[in-house]
Amino acid sequence: MKTLEDFYHLRDAEDYFEFFEISYDKRLVNVKRFHIMREYGNLIKKGLAGFGDNEKQLLDFLKFSLLRVYADYLNGHAPSAAEVFEMFKDGEPKGCLACVSAKGGNCAC
């Protein structure tokens, strides 16, 4: 049985897909990993507060959120120049929440 504790130990984009047993295009994830994980982090940040202590619902939400972001990129979504610029504001790439939320760990994307 997968737990939130297991989720918090994930590091690479591929780890998230494998954790949730989501089939994925390895080439697409390799090329777009930073963008996918950043958008995933932004999406889950918006919805985390609504789940309280219900771990099963939260894990379902986390899986659905990854599926949604991945589907966008699978269907040809590409970040705009403004989005890319915002990611590197102040000369430092900003980490995605999916990585940073892992018990305060650093972004691994």
Rounded CA-CA distance 65/61 in Å is 6
Whether 106 is in a domain gets the answer no
Whether 107 is in a domain gets the answer no
4 or 49, which is more confident: 4
Whether 109 is in a domain gets the answer no
What would the two tokens of residue 9 be?
A: 């130990």
Q: Count of domains in the chain? A: 1
Q: Is the pTM of this model over 0.75?
A: no
Mean pLDDT of all residues in 91-104: 46
Whether 9 is in a domain gets the answer yes
Whether 41 is in a domain gets the answer yes
DSSP state of 89: G
DSSP state of 40: H
Each residue's pLDDT tens digit, 14-57: 999 999 999 999 999 999 999 899 989 988 888 777 777 788 88
Whether 105 is in a domain gets the answer no
Range(s) of the domain holding residue 58 = 4-100
- Cα 19 to Cα 62, 78, 89, 92: the distances in Å are 11, 25, 31, 29
Whether 68 is in a domain gets the answer yes
